[in-house]
Amino acid sequence: MIEPTFAPEFDCLIIGAGVVGTAIARELSRFRLKIGVLEKELDVGMGTSGRNSGVLHSGIHYTPGTLRANLDVEGNSMMEELCRQLKVKIDYIGKLTVASHEDEISTLYKLKEQGEANGVPGLEILKPEGMQRLQPGVSGLKALYSPSTGIICPYTLTIALAENAHQNGVRFYLGQEVIGIEKTDLGFLVSTRQGKKLSSKVLINSAGLYSDRIARMVGITDYKIYPCRGEYLVLDKRLGHHLSTLVYPAPHRGKAGLGIHLTKTVDGNILVGPSNEYIDSPEDWATTSYIMGKLREEGESLLPSLTTSDIIRSFAGVRPKQNPPEIGGVKDFVVESREDVRGFINLVG
């Protein structure tokens, strides 16, 4: 521990300017606090937050009582008002989770039971005729309909949160990669690769794919992040009318994701994806010809009337997983403050 020569410059420093970090910054900016945000990229939302399906989930997929389940449901109910305040477009278009085989039907009923235990409203099991009314051309034996599922542009949301926080006095340090953290009697001294040193009473680790590395800088070695890449196809807006609600396959136990699905963006494009590939580097955003072919096949099997020939681009995102590939599945989020490193708030997963 080093001895401070002056009071910390900030009441709170946040490491990571994704959607979580910028949301925390905006919330804390309501109070008389000096808040700073450190981000290694040159803009906010450049990592996982800007490279995903843009889906506001209802809360059917996670075990009751877990943070994932509680935050899904609570966040879903809060998001409409937040987007109104920030002037960010949001659309609750619902979701069909489709059973294509007999052995998947029981999964739908388990998801419905789990969702109802979590407080998800309006869940309904549909037969093919009901599925066709909601989404003409969809293929499957039965589907679970979750009307509270929505879509949003995650990058736009992250920018809006950051802009509002900045308007309220939060200072953003972009292009500043944290490489060292020292504990002081009054808080923390944070060093960046670019030569900046900032002091703070409280430090929040919201570094996403790098959250385990940041935790290790203060001596917390409990966590390891496994990067998992998801590749997407983007279809032309001309095909947007083919999709009126989101279409997902029934999930398979032990898989790290929710399967390749069809989603619609708030701008009218259709996304097909994501894949689910454990990779070595958290910055490996490459797309591959093999996965592109797999996405085409899966997309057309969910909605045979959809042609994937009008592809305008592809992209990939990388998600942080806490389970290694041989285990798969998901662990719950970690949100903790610890007695062994007082003043350090850890967000992992």
Q: Which is catalytic among the residues 57, 101, 242, 261? A: 57
pLDDT (tens digit per residue) in 189-202: 999 999 999 999 99
- Closest by Cα among 244, 292, 237 to 267: 237
Cα–Cα–Cα angle for 169, 174, 175, nearest 5°? 165
Average pLDDT over residues 258-286: 95
Residue 50: strand, helix, or coil: helix
Scan for tokens 């996304």, then name that residue: 271
Q: Compute how many other C-beta atoms are within 10 angstroms of the C-beta atom of residue 265.
A: 19
Give the DSSP letter of residue 168: T
The average confidence (pLDDT) of the chain is: 95
Q: Compute how many other C-beta atoms are within 10 angstroms of the C-beta atom of residue 32.
A: 7
pLDDT (tens digit per residue) in 291-307: 999 999 998 888 888 88
Average pLDDT over residues 209-226: 98
Rounded Cα gap, residues 171 and 29, in angstroms? 10
Pairing of strands 344-348, 197-205: parallel
Scan for tokens 């003043």, then name that residue: 343
Q: Where in the chain are the domains?
A: 10-49+155-224+331-348, 55-152+226-321
Give the DSSP letter of residue 2: B
Residue type, 25: A
pLDDT for 3 equals 47
Q: Compute how many other C-beta atoms are within 10 angstroms of the C-beta atom of residue 219.
A: 12
Q: Could you tell me the pLDDT band of residue 256, with boundaries at 50, 70 and 90?
A: low
Rounded Cα gap, residues 65 and 89, in angstroms? 30
pLDDT for 328 equals 87
Q: Could you tell me the pLDDT band of residue 252, with boundaries at 50, 70 and 90?
A: confident
Residue type, 215: A
Contact between residue 200 and residue 11 where contact means Cβ atoms under 8 Å apart: yes
Contact between residue 235 and residue 313 where contact means Cβ atoms under 8 Å apart: no
Domain 55-152+226-321 in the same topology as domain 10-49+155-224+331-348: no
Domain 55-152+226-321 falls under CATH 3.30.9.10: yes
**101 counts as catalytic:** no
pTM of the predicted protein model: 0.94
DSSP 80-119: HHHHHHHT--EE---EEEEE-SHHHHHHHHHHHHHHHHHT
Q: Tell me the backbone φ, ψ of residue 336, rounded to 5 degrees.
A: -150, 150
Rounded Cα gap, residues 274 and 284, in angstroms? 15
Q: Is residue 318 over pLDDT 70?
A: yes
| CATH architecture of the domain formed by 10-49+155-224+331-348 | 3-Layer(bba) Sandwich (3.50)
Residue type, 88: V
